[in-house]
């Protein structure tokens, strides 16, 4: 059984149903890419995996390493080894990146982390990601540029060393340097700790720097196609329309609620 198992997941907000039966498995050591057009439900899936209270699960389940997390609090999912790199990270004024990381690490330990151990770990990670040390004394995401916010997400991922990380459009809007930082962070953790990743993206660009083992395509709240990395090339050449056309051929006319 995979580490992260999502089965027949149906999710709705107050307004409408967004996910309509998602099945997805991600194990440690695997890199998955999830692609799909705007509004197909990718971010909803990411937030639901971490337990966002605004999304209601109406059917299906989320299991992680055998544990049923469908109804679990976000902090329990985090402590179990899941991580979400946000598309739009929240700013927390008055709290330094370093202090926040220390608090987050301490939620995973019985004894608080020692000053030296924490300092050494932070040094290693900031060097790896080529982030200025001053960065960690700034207030968390407060006044950060878009690129800085994304680097900060990857910095947190590297410090917290999750079993499986979900990256929600972390590549969007990044210049090539920041994109490389993000990619290197994922690749290094993958190589060193065997971290699994679900990389949600619109664009093929990041997948030139991180090679996925599996590619999934989401349309209208379902995963409609899964395959090898070559699928990415096809999307790059042809967009999503061929996929819609093909689906209609296979399933006949779109179901009523697909409209």
Partner 1 sequence: MSDGNGSRGRPAPRSTKPGAARQATLYRPLAGAGAGNGRAPDELRAAALAVFEAAELPAWRRSGFWTTSLRDLALDQLAPHHPGPDAAVPDVVSDAVGDEPLAGRLVQLAGDVVDVHLDPELAERGVILCSLEEAFERHGDLARRYFMRRLTYERDKFEAAAAAFWTGGAFLYVPPGLTVERPFQILYAIEDGGTAQYAHTLAIGDRGSDFRLREYDLAAPFFGQALHAGHFELYLEAAARCRLLHLQDWSAGDGEVYDVSTHFVRVARDAHCTWIPIHLGGRLTRQHLELSTAEPGADMRHRGIYFTEASEHLDLYTVDLHESGHTTGDTVWKGAATGASRASYEGLIKIDPGAQESHTYLQTHSMMLSPRAKVDAIPSLIVETDSVSASHGGTVGEVDEGQIFYMRTRGLSRQEAVRVIVEGYFEPIVVQLEDPALEALVRERIAAKLAAAAQDIDAYAAAR
Binding residues vs partner 1 (CB under 8 A): 50-54, 73-75, 77-79, 83-84, 86, 89-95, 100, 103-104, 107-108, 139, 156, 160
Name which of 96 and 204 has its Cβ closer to partner 1.
Answer: 96
Q: How far is the CB of 122 from partner 1 (least distance, A)?
A: 15
User: What are the residues facing 83 on neighbouring strands?
Assistant: 165
Radius of gyration of the chain (CA): 19
CB of 46 to partner 1, least distance (A): 10
CB atoms within 10 A of CB 71: 10
Number of C-beta neighbours around residue 1 at 10 A:
8
- Please say which residue, 162 or 215, places its beta carbon nearer to partner 1: 162
Q: Which helix (H) or strand (E) holds 44?
A: helix 42-49
User: Could you give the dihedral angle defined by the CA atoms of residues 164, 131, 87 and 191, in that order, rounded to the nearest 10 degrees?
Assistant: -20
Nearer to partner 1 (CB atom), residue 84 or residue 231:
84
CB nearer to partner 1: give 107 or 145: 107
**Residue among 51, 43, 99, 85 nearest 186 (CA):** 85
As measured in angstroms, the least distance from the Cβ of 216 to partner 1 is 22
Question: Shortest distance, CB of residue 104 to partner 1, whole angstroms?
Answer: 4
Please say which residue, 50 or 235, places its beta carbon nearer to partner 1. 50
Q: Which residues contact 200 (CB under 8 A, 6 or more apart)?
A: 33, 34, 35, 42, 43, 45, 46, 166, 167, 168, 169
126-158 residues labelled b (16+ CB within 10 A) or e (exposed): bebbebeeebbebbbbeebeebbbbbbbbbbbb
CB of 223 to partner 1, least distance (A): 23
Task: Return the number of the residue (91 or 120) whose C-beta is nearest partner 1.
Answer: 91
For the CB of residue 127, give the shortest distance to partner 1 in the complex, in Å. Answer: 22
């Amino acid at each position: 059984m995979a580490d992260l198992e999502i089965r027949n997941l149906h999710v709705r907000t107050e307004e409408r149903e967004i996910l309509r039966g998602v099945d997805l498995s991600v194990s440690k050591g695997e890199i998955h890419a999830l692609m799909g057009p705007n509004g197909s439900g990718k971010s909803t899936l990411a937030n639901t995996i971490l337990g966002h209270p605004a999304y209601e699960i109406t059917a299906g389940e989320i299991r992680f390493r055998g544990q049923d997390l469908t109804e679990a609090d976000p902090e329990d999912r985090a402590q179990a080894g899941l991580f979400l790199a946000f598309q739009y990270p929240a700013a927390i004024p008055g709290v330094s990146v370093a202090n926040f990381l220390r608090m987050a690490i301490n939620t995973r330990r019985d004894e608080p982390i020692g000053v030296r151990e924490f300092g050494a770990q932070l040094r290693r990670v900031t060097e790896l990601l080529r982030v200025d040390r001053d960065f960690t004394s700034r207030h968390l995401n407060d006044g950060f540029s878009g690129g800085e916010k994304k680097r900060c997400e990857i910095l947190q991922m590297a410090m917290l060393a999750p079993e499986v990380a979900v990256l929600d459009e972390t590549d969007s809007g990044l210049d090539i340097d920041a994109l490389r930082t993000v990619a290197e962070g994922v690749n290094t953790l993958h190589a060193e700790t065997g971290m699994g990743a679900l990389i949600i993206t619109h664009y093929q660009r990041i997948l030139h720097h991180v090679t996925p083992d599996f590619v999934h395509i989401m349309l209208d709240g379902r995963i409609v196609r899964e395959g090898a990395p070559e699928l990415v090339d096809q999307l790059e050449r042809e967009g999503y329309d061929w996929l819609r056309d093909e689906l209609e051929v296979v399933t006949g006319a779109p179901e009523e609620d697909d409209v």
